[in-house]
């Protein structure tokens, strides 16, 4: 981890993002905008996000399917955690600015990884559900 990276500060900023995410639960249009912004940013930063890429794609899918009403087998707290991570991810006010080569996404990957570890069971359950729909 970068010596200039402050995990505690990143966690505090993530908690603020989760508070904003709580409001998005009742505002699908704003949630959809955050989701679309996160997808665009992730597509342009696939390399630095390699460690969390597959799980991030699952998080995008969960949020999309949850707001469509197609997948509700996840606690609302997990949706808020995901939305909080996505808000943090798209926020222009980053702990480490994204444009800094080699280290710009350290804080984003840290927060995404934190949330992924918290909701691992939900991600696995969603993945199985998604695969069963394809089969």
The answer to whether residue 126 sits within a structural domain is: yes
pLDDT at residue 101 in the model: 67
Task: Give the C-alpha separation, 95 to 93, whole Å.
Answer: 7
Q: Is residue 87 part of a domain?
A: yes
Query: 1 lies in a domain?
Result: no
Q: Do 5 and 76 touch, CB atoms closer than 8 A?
A: no
Range of the domain at 25: 7-134
Q: pLDDT digits over 22-72, tens only?
A: 999 999 999 999 999 999 999 988 888 888 999 999 999 999 999 999 999
Query: Which of 9-13, 97-101, 121-125 shows the lowest mean pLDDT across its residues?
Result: 97-101
Confidence (pTM): 0.90
Does a structural domain hold residue 39? Answer: yes
pLDDT digits (tens, 9 = 90+) for 56-112: 999 999 999 999 999 999 999 999 999 999 999 999 877 776 767 667 788 999 999
Evaluate whether residue 60 is within a structural domain: yes
Residue 19, domain member (yes or no): yes
49 phi and psi angles, rounded to 5 deg: -95, 10
Taking the CA atoms of residue 40, residue 43, residue 47 and residue 49 in that order, the dihedral angle to the nearest 10 degrees is 60
How high is the pLDDT of residue 18? 96
> Considering its fold, how many domains does the chain have in total?
1
Residue 2 lies in a domain: no
- Please tell me the predicted confidence (pLDDT) of residue 56: 95
């Amino acid at each position: 981890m970068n010596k200039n990276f402050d995990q505690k500060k990143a966690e505090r900023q993530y908690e603020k993002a989760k508070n904003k995410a709580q409001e998005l639960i009742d505002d699908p249009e704003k949630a959809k905008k955050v989701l679309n912004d996160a997808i665009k940013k992730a597509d342009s930063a696939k390399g630095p996000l390699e460690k969390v890429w597959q799980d991030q794609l699952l998080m995008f899918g969960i949020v999309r399917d949850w707001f469509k009403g197609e997948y509700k087998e996840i606690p609302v707290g997990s949706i808020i955690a995901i939305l909080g991570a996505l808000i943090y991810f798209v926020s222009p006010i980053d702990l480490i600015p994204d444009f800094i080569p080699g280290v710009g996404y350290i804080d984003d990957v840290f927060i995404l990884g934190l949330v992924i570890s918290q909701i691992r069971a939900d991600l696995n359950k969603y993945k199985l559900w998604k695969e069963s729909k394809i089969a």
